[in-house]
Every structure is written in C-alpha cells, then in structure tokens.
C-alpha cells in the first residue's frame, strides 16, 4: 500500500476520537461464535495443518511478519505467518499505536495449526485459519486505552472481533478479511473524492499522543515538527506543564493517495 500511513490510520479511525470505555472487549459466550461466523463469511472454515501452513507460505497465501520499528514478533511465535490482510492490518495498527503512545506493538501469536494449539484453546480457534493475532497488553494505561478504544471501534464497524484475555494478559483479535478489504476500498474512494475537488493535496490532520515519563512539551513539538505555541494553543494549555499519561492532540499535515494490499 502506498498511502501515507498517517492518512490511512486517520481514515480507519485509529488515531482520532475519544478514548472509549472498552467493556465490549470482555469475552462472552457469543465472542467465539462471532469470530467463527466472520471467518466463514470471509471464506475460511478449515483449520490448517503444519504442512499446509508451509505450503500456503510458499504459494503466497500466507505472508511472513518480520517486525519493524512499529511492532515486534516475540520469539515464542513459532510460525510468524498470517493472511496478507492480517499482516497489513498489524502494520497499520502498529504505526498508529507507536505514534500515539511511544512504544512498539507486541505480537505474541499468529497462525497456529490445530496440532500446535494450547490445551485451553477453543477447538475451532481462528488461529488455525491464519486470521487471528494475539497482541500483548501494555503496562501503560494510555497505551491500553488507545488500543482498546480503537479495537472496539473497528469491532463495532464489523471489521474484526476482539476480546481482552487475562491469562496471560493480551488481546485476541480476529480480522474479517472481506469487510477489511471493503473498508480499504471505501477509504480509497474517500481519498479520491478529496483529491478530485481540485484543492490542495495536503490536508490538515491531527494525531493523539500519550505523554510518556521524561517528555516535555517542547520535545513533543520538535518530534512532530510543530511550533511549541501551536501545540500549546491546540490543547488549550496555559503553560507547558504536562504529566505522564496525558493525551495531547498534535496537529500535522498529511498527503493523500490510494493503494492496495501488498
């Protein structure tokens, strides 16, 4: 995809809006049913064997995730592969996550054949379909709030089903590939409409940033390329005092483009 990443994050709703209460991420009896129904609607029903995973990697049906500056794949991930849509989603989500709270997203599980499932897993887990991912739960309250709010927002939009698990603490996320691709297509249409208006191809945006320990308002302004006074005015601050965990609105300018899954 050749979109400017911050634009895609904006359109996905991953960097904007209030930090919502994520009670909807608690596991329920219907969570697994919705995960499986969404997977089947996207055309995936049969669990993969270990050999089929390797065959799917060779054919390009499954893609390797190697991690980057925005996310890491833990060593415990025995088979670091997923559907192309899942890889794309993780990369875009991770970019917004790191921009918002200053740490990398940590992926602790991806495709997991039935023979490699832990004892307490569901017999029809979407991990065996290559559609599921487990994301580590951060110790930072601001990071947890950002991620939970955005997962819930996308869940409400029918793009995924997510649950907040406690043992160990993580988020179990199942991406519905067809709704996700349709969502991306709508974003391309919205971007093309903006460009077709004949105006400036640059549009004012904003990102949300969670203040970290040791941050100063001046450093945050420098990091994002904005004037200190602008950042202060944008957040209605009388001075430059900030505190860890505080959520700041940071103005930015991003170009628009279109693109496809890679």
223: left (phi over 0), alpha (psi -120 to 50) or beta: alpha
Give pTM, 2 decimals.
Answer: 0.71
Per-residue pLDDT, averaged over 215-244, amounts to 85
Cis amide bond preceding 261, omega within 30 = no
Q: What is the pLDDT of residue 16?
A: 37
Question: Could you say which of 3.40.50.720, 3.30.1380.10, 3.30.565.10, 3.40.50.670 is the CATH number of the domain covering 5-181?
Answer: 3.30.1380.10
Residue 82 has pLDDT above 50, yes or no: yes
Euclidean distance between CA atoms 25 and 173, whole angstroms: 10
Structure tokens at 56: 């799917």
Q: In this model, does residue 193 exceed pLDDT 90? A: no
Rounded CA separation 135/108 (Å): 6
* C-alpha 186 chain-centroid distance: 18
pLDDT for 255 equals 38
What sign for the dihedral angle of Cα 4, 9, 11, 12? positive
Q: Give helix 5-12 / helix 84-101 axis angle, nearest 10°.
A: 90
pLDDT tens digits for range 52-64:
999 999 998 999 9
Q: Using 50, 70 and 90 to split pLDDT, how confident is the model at 240?
A: confident
């Amino acid at each position: 995809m050749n979109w400017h990443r911050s634009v895609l994050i904006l359109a996905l709703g991953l960097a904007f809006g209030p930090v919502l209460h994520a009670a909807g991420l608690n596991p329920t009896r219907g969570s697994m049913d919705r995960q499986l129904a969404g997977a089947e609607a996207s055309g995936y029903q049969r669990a993969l064997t270990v050999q089929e995973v390797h065959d799917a990697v060779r054919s390009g049906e499954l893609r390797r995730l190697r991690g980057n500056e925005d996310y890491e794949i833990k060593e415990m991930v025995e088979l670091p592969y997923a559907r192309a849509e899942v890889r794309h989603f993780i990369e875009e989500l991770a970019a917004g996550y790191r921009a918002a709270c200053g740490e990398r997203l940590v992926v602790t599980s991806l495709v997991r054949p039935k023979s490699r499932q832990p004892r307490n897993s569901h017999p029809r887990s979407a991990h065996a379909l290559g559609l599921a991912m487990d994301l580590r739960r951060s110790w930072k309250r601001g990071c947890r709030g950002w991620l939970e709010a955005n997962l819930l927002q996308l869940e409400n939009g029918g793009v995924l089903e997510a649950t907040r698990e406690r043992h160990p603490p993580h988020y179990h996320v199942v991406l519905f590939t067809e709704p996700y691709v349709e969502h991306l297509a709508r974003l391309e249409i919205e971007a093309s409409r903006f460009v077709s208006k004949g105006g400036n191809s640059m549009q004012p945006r904003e990102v949300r940033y969670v203040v970290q320990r040791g941050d100063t308002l001046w450093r945050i302004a420098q990091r994002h390329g904005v004037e200190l006074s602008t950042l202060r005015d944008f957040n209605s601050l009388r001075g430059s005092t900030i505190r860890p965990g505080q959520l700041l609105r940071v103005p930015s300018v991003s170009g628009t483009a279109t693109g496809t899954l890679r």
